[in-house]
Amino acid sequence: MMEAFNLADQFVDRHLREGRGEKIAIRCGDRAVTYAQVAEDTTRVGNGLRALGIQPPERVLIALPDGPEFAAAYFGAMKIGAVAVPTNPSLKPADYAYLLDESEAAALIVQADVHAQIEPVLADRRFLRHVIVCGPDWDEWLAAQSADLTAALTRAIDPAFWLWTSGSTGMPKAAVHLHRDWICCCENYAGGVLGITTDDVTFSSSKLFHAYGLGNGLMFPFHAGATTVLYPGRPQAAAILKAAQEFRPTLFFSVPTLYAAMLEDGGSYDLGSVRLAVSAAEPLPAEMFRRWKQRFGVEILDGIGSTEALHIYLSARAGKVRPGSTGEPVPGYEIRIVDAEGADVPRGSIGDLLVRGESTARLYWNRPDLSEQRMRDGWFYSGDKYWIDEDGYFWYAGRSDDMVRVSGQWVSPIEVESALVEHEAVMEAAVVGHTEPGGLGTVKAFVVLRQGFAGTDELIRDLQAFVRQRIAPYKYPRRVEFLAELPKNATGKLLRYKLRELDCGQAGL
């Protein structure tokens, strides 16, 4: 029989056994919560759920902002063998109705203000039996539960938590993860690449309901016995910079969109405590890396991961960053770049990225055909296009369905976007294919300008000439449209399909 392994025991209770009970685990606003307090609240949540009749492997949907309550709910569900399902706490009532039905959640733990908005849709949910509201009565509810609970005798290969993913479009689907999955990420990426220790303080602008934010802001520090800074508000540039200056993290995690916005902020901030910054969700432009390092004196390590693989599996390394490159494989992961027939492509050629590692989800809930298509023999078919240079560095070329055909040749939108953001006027850029009236396929760029620049015809000509000087001329954007911001999802990932919908192309030359 396989040895018992419970994620909550490994990431929370273990610290009490190892003498870290009084160490600060979470800083959130003016609150400082120790590992002993997190362990007690986790146990009380678990007992509260058990008293309501929640049994393994029933699902518990969690719609809470980042904070100690999220940690207690997430770990508490798993401690009794139930399955924790973190969810964006900023959705519409219809979204929660879908997620509750799709997950067949037996219980919902929800912030009071969110509950007030979605209460009308809760009565019609077929599987939902209990709603626990995190508000004025939360502490009273916790206090009514026992502070004594032995972790359920789950196994490493038992389901522990689900994470929602929808790719660039479509209704969310759940990637099913096991009790052991975070160990792979924590040991190989957090430990092997970032070198996290008990002395580190982590701060992530990305939220805990998303795989990237969950690793950065909870699982990595809790595996190492470090301290995390949790910020429940919206991730806006000035507020994040102010929090980073106040709480003095040593590891800082964000996404390219927010790095760009922080670089635009004219305030003077001291980020001298940060030894490494990390970026994911979208490729980090080389120019953004250079500007950030010049301003704050710290490297950003770009990486790519996925909800299915749980966290980053390709990453740049400190002191070895090649700006614009995603870096090299994270220890513990196998990476292949293959052609349409599944054969490995030679270096320098673009192909489809496959990844295999212990953290990879085994299936999508209720999606057998998609699970079979994208998860084969332990390999996850990511849908990303990559190529490898002669030194073994990986370079992102875009999503498989984002490549643009121009003059009979494939164009990577990432290459054009990277060239555009090197221009002094450009804060962000996104590229899609555009069909001219005569049927000719060309490149169209959507551009967000930096402060002080205006979207004129003269600037369009300048941007087009700028790109032609840096990459093959046929790849330059024949059309350019200026936007106030690019469409992104809640995790900062570009919604390129929305740009295609906008493509009625009046601007451009």
- Which two structure tokens, joined as six digits, stand for 51? 């008293």
Residues 124-148: pLDDT tens digits?
Answer: 999 999 999 999 999 999 999 999 9
Rounded CA-CA distance 354/370 in Å is 15
Q: What is the mean pLDDT of the chain?
A: 93
Q: State residue 410's pLDDT score.
A: 73
Q: State residue 439's pLDDT score.
A: 67
Q: What is the CATH code of the structural domain delimited by 1-179?
A: 3.40.50.980
Residue 437: pLDDT over 80: no
> For residue 236, is it left (φ>0), alpha (ψ between -120 and 50) or beta?
beta
Q: Return the H-helix or E-strand segment holding 247.
A: helix 237-247
Rounded CA-CA distance 174/366 in Å is 8
Q: State residue 402's pLDDT score.
A: 79
Residue 354: pLDDT over 70: yes
Residue 506: pLDDT over 60: no
Q: State residue 167's pLDDT score.
A: 54
Q: State residue 407's pLDDT score.
A: 63
Inter-helix orientation angle 286-296/256-264, to 10°: 50
Q: State residue 493's pLDDT score.
A: 80
pTM value is 0.87
Residues 221-256: pLDDT tens digits?
Answer: 999 999 999 999 999 999 999 999 999 999 999 998
Q: State residue 119's pLDDT score.
A: 96
| Residue-by-residue DSSP string for 39-87 | HHHHHHHHHHHHHTT--TT-EEEEE--SSHHHHHHHHHHHHTT-EEEE-
Residues 385-420: pLDDT tens digits?
Answer: 999 999 999 999 888 777 787 766 778 888 899 999
Query: Could you tell me where in the chain the CATH 3.30.300.30 domains are found?
Result: 402-502
Angle at 192 between CA 191 and CA 197, to 5 degrees: 30
Q: 434 - beta bridge partners? A: 442
If you average pLDDT over residues 211-216, what whole number do you get? Answer: 97
Per-residue pLDDT band at 508 (split at 50, 70, 90): very low
Q: Return the H-helix or E-strand segment holding 384.
A: strand 379-388
Rounded CA-CA distance 493/495 in Å is 6
What single-letter amino acid sits at 108? Answer: L
If you average pLDDT over residues 266-271, what whole number do you get? Answer: 90
Q: Whole-angstrom distance between the N-terminal and C-terminal Cα of the chain?
A: 69
Residue 189: pLDDT over 90: yes
If you average pLDDT over residues 23-40, what whole number do you get? Answer: 98
Residue 168: pLDDT over 50: no
Inter-helix orientation angle 93-103/112-122, to 10°: 70
Q: State residue 232's pLDDT score.
A: 96
Beta strand 227-229 pairing with 24-28: parallel
Residue 320: pLDDT over 70: yes
Residues 50-62: pLDDT tens digits?
Answer: 999 999 999 999 9
If you average pLDDT over residues 6-33, what whole number do you get? Answer: 98
Residues 86-99: pLDDT tens digits?
Answer: 999 999 999 999 99
Residue 169: pLDDT over 70: no
Choose the weakest-confidence range: 83-87, 104-108, 450-454: 450-454
The CATH-assigned architecture of domain 402-502 is: 2-Layer Sandwich (3.30)
Query: Could you tell me where in the chain the CATH 3.40.50.980 domains are found?
Result: 1-179
